[in-house]
């Protein structure tokens, strides 16, 4: 399948059409201007300014510490790079769980101060009021179910979610509730492939999977994992397309060698 670069701007409407015609949606995370420029030029449909920035950009163990101001900084950097992709920004932990007014205020700050195109919230029925309020204000919302990293201390582990019937049933009713509330898409993270299919088939809006099997309407990965920057992180669902850790490590060593060996800068590399 070729990359649809003729699409001028990806919209929620275009993502819906992709589901209808069976074209898979490509999504990666992005946190900064340089990476977002490459990913947008390459033709990604959706860029997610994920709160995984807390892990891969800031070095925190979880996504919990990142703040709304920090998310806005990352999102504005990505937006400045993007010409085509639809850019979604995570509402960080603590910026929407209090009540729906707080959620709306946080979403409005993201939209106004970064220029993003939509926001993502983790959770189902328990955050429906917030989802509705944000959508009523005209802001597109992406849902996120299954493994929701902002609840890691409730789960206790990063293992596959919804393997048991009760949790699977809750997920099946949550996807329908998020769709009824007006979400334009839902991320499904680390759930059995069969459940990913069942949830996807039950919806008119697209699902975007990460460790949720091949039947989702699209796939998302954390870009730093996908390009091999996160050393030693190799969950089963991850396909690593290049090992940039090795490449950059090698380049850094070559640079050290050249500087210390008086090889850099040479005659042509000076004024
Ligand atoms: O923050 C993030 O990177 C995410 C993806 C894993 C979907 O939410």
Q: Among residues of the chain, what percentage have pLDDT more than 90?
A: 96
CA atoms within 13 A on the CB side of 186: 33
Report d(CA 149, CA 126) in Å as an integer.
16
Task: Tell me what pLDDT residue 228 has.
Answer: 98
**25 with 208: CB under 8 angstroms?**
yes
Taking 80 as the threshold, does the pLDDT of residue 3 lie above it?
no
Q: Which residue CA neighbors atom 8 of ligand 1 most closely?
A: 50
Give the position, in ligand 1's atom list, of the atom nearest the Cα of 63: 1
Q: Residue 253: count other Cβ atoms within 10 Å of its Cβ.
A: 10
Taking 70 as the threshold, does the pLDDT of residue 11 lie above it?
yes
Report, as an integer, the average pLDDT of 76-100.
98
**Peptide bond between residue 265 and the one before it cis (omega within 30 degrees of 0):** yes
Residues in a beta bridge with 47: 28, 87
Question: Would you give the distance in Å from CA 243 to the centre of its chain?
Answer: 21
Task: Tell which one of 35, 57, 60, 63 to mutate to probe ligand 1, the residue whose CB is within 8 A of the most ligand atoms.
Answer: 63
Give the model confidence (pLDDT) of 57-75 as tens digits: 999 999 999 999 999 999 9
Q: Say which CATH topology domain 12-240 has.
A: TIM Barrel (3.20.20)
Q: Which of these ranges, 2-11, 111-120, 131-140, has the smallest mean pLDDT?
A: 2-11
Identify which of 69, 50, 59 has the alpha carbon closest to the alpha carbon of residue 121.
Answer: 50
Q: Is 95 in the pocket of ligand 1 (CB under 6 A)?
A: no
**214 with 233: CB under 8 angstroms?**
no
Q: At what angle do helices 68-81 and 100-114 cross, to 10 degrees?
A: 40
Q: Is 106 in the pocket of ligand 1 (CB under 6 A)?
A: no
Rg, the chain, Cα only: 20
Identify which of 46, 104, 108 has the alpha carbon closest to the alpha carbon of residue 78.
Answer: 46
Q: At what angle do helices 165-181 and 193-201 cross, to 10 degrees?
A: 30
Q: Is 218 in the pocket of ligand 1 (CB under 6 A)?
A: no
Task: Tell me what pLDDT residue 76 has.
Answer: 98
Task: Tell which one of 70, 90, 116, 121 to mutate to probe ligand 1, the residue whose CB is within 8 A of the most ligand atoms.
Answer: 90
Give the model confidence (pLDDT) of 12-25 as tens digits: 999 999 999 999 99
> How many angstroms separate the alpha carbon of residue 6 from the centre of ligand 1?
27
Q: How confident is the model at residue 2 (pLDDT cuts 50, 70, 90)?
A: low
Cα dihedral sign, 193-121-51-159:
negative
> How many angstroms separate the alpha carbon of residue 16 from the centre of ligand 1?
21
Structure tokens at 26: 């490509």
Residues in a beta bridge with 207: 186
Report d(CA 118, CA 266) in Å as an integer.
49
> How many angstroms separate the alpha carbon of residue 223 from the centre of ligand 1?
10
Residues in a beta bridge with 146: 189
Give the position, in ligand 1's atom list, of the atom nearest the Cα of 222: 3
Residue with tokens 């994992």: 225
Report d(CA 98, CA 27) in Å as an integer.
29
Report, as an integer, the average pLDDT of 160-183.
98
Q: Is 220 in the pocket of ligand 1 (CB under 6 A)?
A: yes
């Amino acid at each position: 399948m070729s990359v649809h670069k003729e699409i001028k701007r990806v919209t929620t409407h275009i993502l819906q059409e992709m589901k209808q015609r069976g074209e898979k949606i490509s999504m990666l995370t992005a946190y900064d201007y340089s990476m977002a420029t490459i990913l947008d030029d390459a033709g990604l449909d959706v860029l997610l300014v994920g709160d995984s920035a807390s892990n891969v950009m800031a070095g925190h163990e979880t996504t919990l510490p990142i703040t709304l101001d920090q998310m806005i900084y990352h999102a504005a950097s990505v937006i400045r790079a993007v010409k085509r992709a639809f850019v979604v920004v995570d509402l960080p932990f603590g910026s929407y769980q209090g009540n729906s007014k707080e959620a709306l205020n946080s979403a409005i700050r993201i939209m106004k101060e970064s220029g993003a195109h939509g926001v993502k919230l983790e959770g189902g029925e328990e955050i429906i009021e917030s989802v509705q309020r944000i959508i009523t204000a005209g802001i597109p919302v992406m849902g996120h179910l299954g493994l929701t990293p902002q609840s890691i201390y409730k789960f206790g582990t990063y293992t596959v979610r919804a393997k048991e019937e009760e949790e699977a049933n809750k997920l099946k009713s949550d996807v329908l509730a998020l769709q009824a509330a007006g979400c334009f898409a839902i991320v499904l993270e680390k759930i059995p492939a069969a459940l990913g299919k069942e949830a996807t088939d039950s919806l008119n809006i697209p699902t975007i999977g990460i460790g949720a099997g091949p039947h989702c309407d699209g796939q998302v990965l954390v870009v730093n994992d996908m390009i091999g920057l996160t050393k030693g992180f190799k969950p089963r669902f991850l396909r690593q397309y290049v090992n940039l850790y090795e490449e950059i490590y090698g380049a850094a060593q070559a640079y050290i060698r050249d500087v210390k060996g008086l090889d850099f800068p040479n005659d042509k590399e000076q004024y």
